[in-house]
Structure 1
């Protein structure tokens, strides 16, 4: 029997999809913008919360099958829905690949120290694939099994995020926020850049909408999205303040692992090992959440004829096994490409592109919400209109801030790669409609 996902499990999925390895480098990435970066961090959190409210209201309107692609398809039609689905699904492979790479970049030195020799690239690749297959099997055992594992991983990775900042309070120095170099540029440029960097940590805020049919009710989705995203915003903002208050901004700039530096400062000794394990656990939670979400994306898209019907089929645990298999195995080719260092660098550069595509998905989803408001299918109240307007302005501002000619070209290529599949699925959909119409006509004639 396929049991439904509860509120706390869904909150864990929402948090797990957002809190990844980026948390551990976010303060260092923001340091070059000085204390003003905290305003950008705060603004990104507020924008993410508004977007989570929008997705929550969309989930309450469209019950049963969920996800940004479903909302866009229902409001703007097959074409927009398909390319939203395709881009959203494909880019999840790239994002998940980087999570796996980051996980092993931290855990590999520990493994090498324990066995007394270095691991080859091929050996690391085997371990990476093994990890993917492990979480693929976990997700094949059903949505509730995956959700419970996400709760465990969320609790494990939350502990260092709470304990370490508490220890930092004894080393906190407010002068770190005012001493050092200050960024050059206009206030808007500094604010938009720092907000964009901070928003990377909120990618995945919509994840709670994709398993819609496996959740107890639409209200659970709405609450989990807002609560989960709010908690993530509090964690990010709190961690940024604490780290910047312990490490001077000039020293923090360009630092690869600020958490390890803090552990050495506060605890000394070999505390880099538990920190590395903590990062690994964080990545495991993100990997589990994204394999789950990617599988649900494909399954829900297939139910509205955006992807092959095969993806809708479920196993005895109620898990869309073909969808999960395709979404999990799709990560492996990208991992193989990373054996080549130049290709690995190119793959990591695609993360910027993935953020833009996610932002485009969020903007289109917000447009869908605004259209439903305009048609009065969602109550056109003052608060609903303000939420929609602010979420839309935030999405557009972030896209404009992030976009460059290179990003525009790569985004165009990724979207265009779906054209063959689009033509096939559209043709299949038209044939199905013609068949239905013909059968109806014959039935009507017989009745006459």
Structure 2
């Protein structure tokens, strides 16, 4: 932000912005001022052996792992009351989510620094917009982690009785929160390994149902095309409201762009491939469940994938298998979101818009950001279990849907700004028109996500944003004083 009483300064040229991805443009903290790895654990290039950049496979796994959490295991039953028209909503949302992934890829090609939407919003609109993106995304990270841990306990309880008492359930949830945090503290090398393994393990049972279900598919079990009571358009919109939240995470590679090899190419590729892969798993898995579990039973099912496995192969082992898959899925999701929730504050702290402690990085991971994130998530998890405030917790989870879309909308606005202002390498009109259409679809998707959160969540989410304004005022005042 410009100092009071001074004329606005022109934005830096793209070449200046992109020349040094880790360059600090306005901040008080640089890489030379923050603790680095012990030189005893560095290789011949000076890079910590625990800090490794992500290649395309790991970056793609990060996107897919963060999009696919535990919700997929109950998703078919949630949309079954609408009928198979919900599959049309899936297709529409997939196109919109891929458009958003393409926008993130184009923005990362311009500026491949860690921080994602924060970097894009700040470069286009200044410090305040960047801070709002960082603040919103940070809230999304630690509240979502608490929600994932609570959901994981519910699935783990199927295998090991841990949820019989609030204290035991709370302790189990805290263990599930801290294990991914330990992997993050160990360095990006271990974060990438955990993410890749957990993504592979979660897809084994999901693909088993998605592919195996084709051999047991019976169209008679699908039920009516539209059983929602609305017209076709209304039915698609109503079912889409439930499906919208399933695509949060398309920005994962962009947020960690500084840790991705050849980020200008691989962030966009990982975003599109990861989003497309997650969408195919969603669509095929849901279609398989629709075709193997009778519709009248599916609408009342609490474990649709378990019912599908039991219907395909007989026996009652489906519940245990799906529960294990769900725990693995959400552990991998916690691993990825723990890193992402620390990356955006790290980028903002380097620019003096978050406390300087968030800019400390060791072994490629912002350790203070990870620690603060897991502590806040732990406190919220403990509050949820020990106070019995289930409804308050559900509202907070809905708020994260709103807070996640604020950075999405700011990022698409930044892309729209660059396209219209002509700050491009090419003036190809056909490419410009294509990019404008893609950006418009992504912006519409972001607004749709925000509307799907509901009035109460948007209202309270705005209060969270306004609380951030006070933090921003303190940080700017301290920066100007320095």
TM over 0.5: yes
Partner of 1:138 in structure 2?
Answer: 183
Moved over 4 A (4+): none
Per residue, is there more helix in 1 or in 2? Answer: 1
How far, CA to CA, are the matches of 1:408 and 1:19 in structure 2?
24
Partner of 1:241 in structure 2?
Answer: 287
Q: CA RMSD of the aligned region, Å?
A: 1.9
Q: CA deviation at 1:412?
A: 1.6
Q: Does 1:191 align with 2:232?
A: no
Q: Does 1:305 align with 2:352?
A: yes
How far, CA to CA, are the matches of 1:173 and 1:341 in structure 2?
46
Partner of 2:413 in structure 1?
Answer: 367
Paired residues of 1:29 and 1:254 also in contact (CA < 8 A): no
Q: CA deviation at 1:305?
A: 2.0
How far, CA to CA, are the matches of 2:464 and 2:382 in structure 1?
19
Cα-to-partner distance string for 1:163-204 (whole Å, 9 max, x where unaligned): 123332232111333448711124333222222322211101
SS at match of 2:441: helix
Paired residues of 2:352 and 2:475 also in contact (CA < 8 A): yes
Partner of 1:67 in structure 2?
Answer: 116
Picking from 459, 462, 470, the partner of 1:409 is 459
SS at match of 2:389: helix
How far, CA to CA, are the matches of 2:283 and 2:309 in structure 1?
19
Q: Does 1:123 align with 2:168?
A: yes
Paired residues of 1:86 and 1:418 also in contact (CA < 8 A): yes
**Normalised by the size of structure 2, how large is the TM-score?**
0.84
Picking from 106, 121, 125, the partner of 1:57 is 106
Q: CA deviation at 1:208?
A: 0.8
**What is the correspondence of 1:137-286 to structure 2 with a 5 Å cutoff?**
137-179=182-224, 182-218=227-263, 219-267=265-313, 268-286=315-333
**Normalised by the size of structure 1, how large is the TM-score?**
0.90
Residues 423 and 361 (structure 1), Cα distance of their counterparts in 2 relative to 1, 3 Å cut: same
How far, CA to CA, are the matches of 1:93 and 1:34 in structure 2?
34
**What is the correspondence of 1:38-117 to structure 2 with a 5 Å cutoff?**
38-112=87-161
Cα-to-partner distance string for 1:383-419 (whole Å, 9 max, x where unaligned): 212211221223224434x254322321122112213
Picking from 433, 442, 447, the partner of 1:391 is 442
SS at match of 1:201: helix
**What is the correspondence of 1:317-336 to structure 2 with a 5 Å cutoff?**
317-336=363-382
Paired residues of 1:59 and 1:66 also in contact (CA < 8 A): no
How far, CA to CA, are the matches of 2:238 and 2:349 in structure 1?
37
Partner of 1:438 in structure 2?
Answer: none
Paired residues of 2:416 and 2:439 also in contact (CA < 8 A): yes
Which segment drifts farther, 413-422 or 138-147? 413-422
Q: CA deviation at 1:341?
A: 6.0
Structure 2: runs of 5+ lacking an equivalent: 1-47
Residues 291 and 229 (structure 1), Cα distance of their counterparts in 2 relative to 1, 3 Å cut: same
How far, CA to CA, are the matches of 2:453 and 2:99 in structure 1?
22
How far, CA to CA, are the matches of 2:444 and 2:225 in structure 1?
33
Partner of 1:428 in structure 2?
Answer: 478
